[in-house]
């Protein structure tokens, strides 16, 4: 029933997290019929992003692919960052929030997921090997900044067990509400959470 170009657009939208087929159709019709200029803008932005935006090969942050290898983000390639501290976050949004707070001057590692047996995420699914690869000899402390939720705490404990033998592991202080996302915490709260971090034993 739908023209194939529109069908492709609906299919693409319904591949996004939280977007069902009905919403995908609504988005597609809205763009095509009411916002053709935005559709053109999106097409350029999508193509640009597809060519130049990648995950940092060291930490998982967003990086720009400029032809050089390995692809590193602006934090990994910044010589002024504190090489002794590595901050582990669940998501890139949490890294952004900590960067906005200015409280973390070290480097990061983005896990991309949290331990959650209910959702089928077991310890083997965590990128421990990649994380270990980031633990070069200069690192003296790993700060675990996973959210203060059940999954975030379980992940923190697991990481402390895995890494505790080779490096000091600390956990951000509470202050971020339990179950809350770091992304929505204000800079002062995040600053306190980082400065009040405490050692964890696995």
Cβ-in-10-Å burial (0-12, 13-18, 19+) of 61 comes to buried
Which one of the spans 10-18, 76-84, 90-98, 188-196 is the region binding Zn ion (CB under 5 A)?
Answer: 76-84
* Residue 144 touching Zn ion (CB under 5 A): no
Closest distance to Zn ion from the beta carbon of 33 (Å): 41
* Residue 73 touching Zn ion (CB under 5 A): yes
Closest distance to Zn ion from the beta carbon of 12 (Å): 28
- Taking Cα atoms as reference points, which of 148, 147, 158, 145 lies closest to residue 117? 158
List 28, 31, 71, 76, residue binding Zn ion (CB under 5 A):
76
Closest distance to Zn ion from the beta carbon of 86 (Å): 11
Q: Which is nearer to Zn ion, 73 or 126 (CB)?
A: 73
Cβ-in-10-Å burial (0-12, 13-18, 19+) of 77 comes to middle
* Residue 90 touching Zn ion (CB under 5 A): no
List 9, 10, 59, 185, residue binding Zn ion (CB under 5 A):
59
197 neighbors 170 (Cβ within 8 angstroms): yes
C-alpha to C-alpha distances, 87 to 6, 7, 63, 111, nearest whole angstrom: 43, 43, 18, 10
37 neighbors 49 (Cβ within 8 angstroms): no
Closest distance to Zn ion from the beta carbon of 93 (Å): 15
List 10, 58, 126, 158, residue binding Zn ion (CB under 5 A):
58
* Residue 61 touching Zn ion (CB under 5 A): yes
Closest distance to Zn ion from the beta carbon of 73 (Å): 3
CA distance 197 to 202: 16
Q: Which residues bind Zn ion (CB under 5 A)?
A: 56, 58-59, 61, 73, 76
């Amino acid at each position: 029933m739908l023209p194939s170009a529109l069908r492709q657009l609906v299919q693409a939208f319904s591949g996004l997290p939280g977007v069902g087929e009905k919403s995908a159709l609504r988005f597609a019709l809205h763009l095509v019929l009411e916002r053709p200029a935005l559709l053109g803008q999106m097409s350029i932005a999508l193509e640009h992003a597809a060519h130049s935006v990648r995950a940092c090969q060291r930490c998982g942050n967003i990086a720009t692919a400029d032809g050089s290898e390995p692809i590193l983000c602006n934090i990994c390639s910044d010589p002024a960052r504190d090489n002794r501290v590595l901050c582990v976050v669940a998501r890139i949004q949490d890294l952004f929030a900590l960067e906005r707070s200015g409280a973390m001057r070290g480097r990061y590692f983005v896990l991309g997921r949290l331990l959650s047996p209910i959702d089928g995420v077991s310890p083997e699914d965590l990128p421990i090997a990649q994380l270990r690869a980031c633990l070069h000899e200069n690192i003296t402390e790993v700060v675990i900044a996973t959210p203060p939720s059940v999954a975030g705490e379980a992940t923190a404990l697991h990481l402390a067990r895995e890494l505790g033998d080779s490096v000091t592991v600390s956990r951000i202080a509470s202050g971020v509400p339990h179950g809350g996302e770091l992304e929505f915490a204000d800079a002062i709260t995040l600053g306190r959470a980082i400065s009040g971090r405490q050692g964890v034993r696995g």
